[in-house]
Amino acid sequence: MSFIEKRIENRPASGEAPFRMGETFYSRTDKRGLILAGNEVFRRVSAYSWAELINAPHKTIRHPDMPKGVFWLFWDTLSKGEPIGAYVMNQAKDGLYYWVFAIALPTSDGYISLRIKPSSPVFDQISEIYTDLHAKEGPDGNSPEQSSQALIEVLKAQGFSDYSTFATYALTEELLFMDRAIDRARDRSVTTFKSIVAAVTELQGFMTTLAEQFEAIGSIPTNMRLHASRLEPAGGSLTALSENYWKMANDMTTWFNGFTSSSGNAFASIEEAINNAMLNKCAERLLEKTHGDLERERRVTDKFDLEIEKTQLKRLETEYASNALTGLRLIEQKSQHIANAISILKRHISGLSTTRIMCKIEAANLPADAEGLNGIIGDFGRFQDAIEHSLEQINRHNIVVQSQARSLIPR
């Protein structure tokens, strides 16, 4: 045993169990959650022997202060065959506690869990939320399922669309803070994904603005038709133009609403595609590191075969790398769909501009009491300018998404 290992094994009498920043510990369970294998970091931090851990339920290390709602969400997600990440406080055999950010991945015969030491500001926030959730649980309080829903509602109030989005965000933050703590170069894939998320957040904000602008523009042609009708017969041509403008604006709005509300549309689903790709990429990194740690581990136990564990980790690393690559290509594809939609909307805007100019020409030939029409036509121009500005901003951020996703795809 090295000097460093001896120092770490010198555990305090109370408080937090020794768990170094940059360490990753690993465990594998069957479908029932019984521990089948793990690495030395897991055994050391938990303070159990392998004889005590193997075939024991994973909840053996569960801390009593953890809200049950987190575990309900954890197992509910895994039962659907989906990976999940979560902050978890565990309890070692000697009563010491230790916090981890755990990512659990389904396998053909069970699950594996990879854990790192959390240190980001997200961790400080979640520990306070957990305290509140735990206090509201119990025989007369929230059930585990109700507690999990309460957690989701809190996270939605913080701007996360669902729990998975939060968990992926938290994992990327923990990896970046871990890199900084151990003086490791920042993970380019993580920082690139953060840039993609930031661009999509901005893009979706302008999408909301664009929807409001489409809704507002619909009333202007109606106002013009009413104004022109009072000038009949001189305003007849303007009435026809305003109706034509209304039809084109309505067609554009209908197309936009249909595109954004259709199942699987690019605007709505690109966030999910990014979240999935990020999670897979982070899982790939942790699997690669854990496999490397096991390659260097020299301890021998008759409780499980270390070679089988290394083979399992390598296979999963390959699988999640492939998933991440597929996700990046999906992001690129959806970004192209958005670019196509922007092109279509710009053509609609061009048609509106032509009709607006014709309205302006017709209004100039009307009597002086038609002056109010110029204000309405001015409204046309202002709304079109606003819509064009929103489209340009969406296009600009979409280009960032496309370029950043492509930068992570091997060519």
Orientation angle between helical segments 306-364 and 371-407, nearest 10 degrees: 160
Find the CATH number of the domain harbouring 124. Answer: 3.30.450.20
Looking at the structure, tell me whether residues 248 and 366 fall in a common domain: yes
Structural domain contains residue 167: no
Looking at the structure, tell me whether residues 322 and 403 fall in a common domain: yes
Amino acid residing at 63: H
Looking at the structure, tell me whether residues 379 and 237 fall in a common domain: yes
Domain boundary among 76, 110, 142: 142
Are the C-beta atoms of residues 373 and 228 closer than 8 Å to each other?
yes
Closest by CA position to 294, among listed 32, 38, 5: 38
Looking at the structure, tell me whether residues 108 and 206 fall in a common domain: no
Find the CATH number of the domain harbouring 323. Answer: 1.20.1270
Looking at the structure, tell me whether residues 138 and 194 fall in a common domain: no
Structural domain contains residue 169: no
Going residue by residue through the chain (411 aa), what tens digit of pLDDT does each one get?
A: 443 344 446 789 899 999 999 999 999 999 999 999 999 999 999 999 999 999 999 999 999 999 999 999 999 999 999 999 999 999 999 999 999 999 999 998 999 999 999 999 999 999 899 999 999 998 888 999 999 999 999 999 999 989 999 999 999 999 999 999 999 998 999 999 999 999 999 988 888 888 888 777 666 666 666 655 655 554 456 666 667 777 777 777 777 777 777 766 777 788 889 999 999 999 999 999 999 999 888 776 778 888 899 999 999 999 999 999 999 999 999 999 889 888 888 887 887 777 777 777 766 666 555 556 666 677 777 888 888 898 999 999 999 999 999 999 987
SS3 for 260? Answer: helix
Instruction: Spell out the residues 6+ positions from residue 177 whose beta carbon is closer than 8 angstroms to its own.
Output: 119, 120
Structural domain contains residue 97: yes
Closest by CA position to 242, among listed 255, 227, 263: 227
Looking at the structure, tell me whether residues 227 and 106 fall in a common domain: no
Amino acid residing at 100: V
Looking at the structure, tell me whether residues 352 and 214 fall in a common domain: yes
Structural domain contains residue 228: yes
Looking at the structure, tell me whether residues 138 and 192 fall in a common domain: no
Amino acid residing at 144: P
Cα distance between residue 92 and residue 43, in whole Å: 10
Looking at the structure, tell me whether residues 103 and 218 fall in a common domain: no
Domain boundary among 83, 109, 142: 142
SS3 for 107? Answer: coil
What token pair was written down for 284?
A: 């790939």
Looking at the structure, tell me whether residues 46 and 193 fall in a common domain: no
Structural domain contains residue 148: no
Structural domain contains residue 175: no
Domain boundary among 110, 142, 174: 142
Edge-to-edge, what's the strand order for the sheet holding 97-106?
A: 35-38, 24-30, 110-116, 97-106, 84-91
Domain that holds residue 399: 188-407
Structural domain contains residue 211: yes
CB atoms within 10 A of CB 23: 20
Structural domain contains residue 183: no
Looking at the structure, tell me whether residues 213 and 297 fall in a common domain: yes
The total number of structural domains in the chain stands at 2
Cα distance between residue 20 and residue 259, in whole Å: 50
Looking at the structure, tell me whether residues 124 and 229 fall in a common domain: no
